[in-house]
Amino acid sequence: MGLPVSIVRILLADLLAAGRISARHPRVTTYRLPDPDILEQVLVGLRNL
């Protein structure tokens, strides 16, 4: 994405404080890779910020 990690951390903290996103611990289950479609949607959403 080309954004410095420090800027992304600030953006995420602001979104969390505003209630626009939520954070939780990952579920403890058998390990599987994340769905590539969901990862792509997350990347698109972050690029649109």
Q: How many domains does the chain have?
A: 1
> Measured between alpha carbons, how far is 34 from 14 in angstroms, rounded to an integer?
25
Q: Residue 29: inside a domain, yes or no?
A: no
44 has pLDDT over 70: yes
Q: Residue 16: inside a domain, yes or no?
A: yes
Q: Residue 13: inside a domain, yes or no?
A: yes
Q: Tell me the whole-structure pTM to 2 decimals.
A: 0.49
Which residues constitute the domain of residue 9? 1-23+34-49
Q: Residue 15: inside a domain, yes or no?
A: yes
Q: Residue 11: inside a domain, yes or no?
A: yes
What would the pLDDT profile of 18-36 be if each residue is shown by its tens digit?
999 998 887 776 677 888 9
Q: What is the largest CA-CA distance in the chain?
A: 33
Question: Out of 2-6, 9-13, 17-21, 29-33, which region has the weakest mean confidence (pLDDT)?
Answer: 29-33
Q: What is the mean pLDDT of the chain?
A: 88
Q: Residue 28: inside a domain, yes or no?
A: no
Name the more confident of 10 and 25.
Answer: 10
